[in-house]
Structure 1
Amino acid sequence: MIRLLIADDQALVRGALAALLGLEPDLEVVAEVGRGDEVLAAVAQHRPDVAILDVEMPGLDGIAAAAAVRDAAPECRVLMVTTFGRPGYLRRAMLAGAAGFVVKDTPARQLADAVRRVASGLRVVDPVLAAESLTAGDSPLTERETDVLRAAAGGATIAGIARELFLSEGTVRNYLSNAMGKTGANTRAEAARIAEENGWLI
């Protein structure tokens, strides 16, 4: 039997995944949690073979939870199952040690197969997302533009970014303007979102 942990903040989705995967003769759902910061304790208590994690969860996002699982329980493989099929998320998840990444509208049979493949030591990635990730390419942003945009993504003001990065406010504005131009965005928030979706703020 392949033992599974399911982590998703939406109870309906979590229950549906557990019910669908529980129908498979070789899969057993041993734990369900609704928060990212509950994943590690559940892994330690229930010792699943595969942890199925959503990307966006309260407490700790799924990608950070995947990294925590990799460090604390490397024998537990991680499969990200998410609504957000974005190249940036895929790239970040793989860097965090996830063995697979599929979207939630994957048919039940394919999802069960993905679980089996991940459990056996293989990597599984949604093919459309993999293609998008390759075409997204390398970041056009300089290291400093990335730093400034990352700080802006956290909601920091121009003055706050300047203090955090030891730059003048004018320099911060210039970097933000450059980043907006390179991403084709109209606002710094939009530039940060585009960069994050493409995996450029890692």
Structure 2
Amino acid sequence: MTTEPTRVAVVSDCPLFRLGLAQVADAAPDLVPTAEVGSVDDVEKHLDDVDVVLLDLQAQPSHLSAAVHRLAGQGAKVLVLCSGLQADIEPAMQAGARGCLSRQAGEQELVAAVRLIASGCAYVSAALAVRSWSDATFHLTEREKQILRLVADGETDHGIAERLGISEHTVHSHLDRLRDKIGSRRRVDLTRFAIAHDIVP
């Protein structure tokens, strides 16, 4: 049984970059570029034939998030290419983007990100996540670091409570504070943060 290829629309206001993105998609055996356009207006005509929209616009964060919101509101799975500034990533994700990919990403990461987005997962380049975290100014307590290490080891909330001799409710409180500080609710991002900041080896 063969699976249908993932149909990719490339939206970029840079013609050369648009061509490069389409060529990467075309070279992957399970991806097929179905549209290569320079604006959101143009891609809207093709959304019925698209699984993932690759969006690369040199625009202010507010304009970029408006474009994401417009496409996501029509059911499009949007993967945004961005510079890596936190001001770019957060508004795009809040507007409905399924992921953010660094413009410095290689072909393999691009293809992997498109596949994940198409399958219903979210994706943020590790380089983007680390850069946005490094801009944050906060202090982690020793207890929060202990919990991060255990999260990175794959422990459940219940397992963390048992290991540290605290209640599961207390674990939840610490995790909520960690998620607020780091800016992500996902355990995989907590793990990435712990590795990036040498909290775990």
TM over 0.5: yes
Gaps of 5+ in 2: 138-201
Task: Give the TM-score, by structure 1 length.
Answer: 0.60
Give the RMSD, CA atoms, in angstroms.
2.1
- Matched AA of 1:101: C
The runs of 5 or more residues in structure 1 that have no matched partner are 139-202
Counterpart CA distance in 2 for 1:61 and 1:29 is: 25
Instruction: Flag the 1:126–1:100 CA change in 2: closer, same or farther, 3 A.
Output: same
2:33 to 29, 34, 42: 29
Give me the whole-angstrom Cα distance separating, in 2, the residues matched to 1:18 and 1:5: 8
Whichever residue aligns with residue 127 of structure 1, its letter is A
Runs of 4+ in structure 1 off by over 3 angstroms are 134-138
Q: Is 2:67 the counterpart of 1:65?
A: yes
Spell out, residue by residue over 1:66-88, the C-alpha distance to the aligned partner (whole angstroms, 9 max, x if none): 1111112x2x2110013x22111
Structure 2 match to 1:119: 118
**1:19 alignment counterpart:** 23
Structure 1 equivalent of residue 58 of structure 2: 56
Q: For 2:63 and 2:134, locate their aligned partners in 1 and report how far apart those are by CA, in whole Å.
A: 25
Q: 1:68-79 counterparts in 2 under 5 A?
A: 68-72=70-74, 74=75, 76-79=76-79
Pairwise CA distance, 1:104: 1.8
Number of aligned residues: 132
Identical-residue share of aligned pairs (%): 31
**Amino acid in the other structure paired with 1:86:** L
Aligned to 2:79, the other structure's residue is in SS state: strand
Deviations 1:46-71 (A, max 9, x none): 4200000014259x944222111111
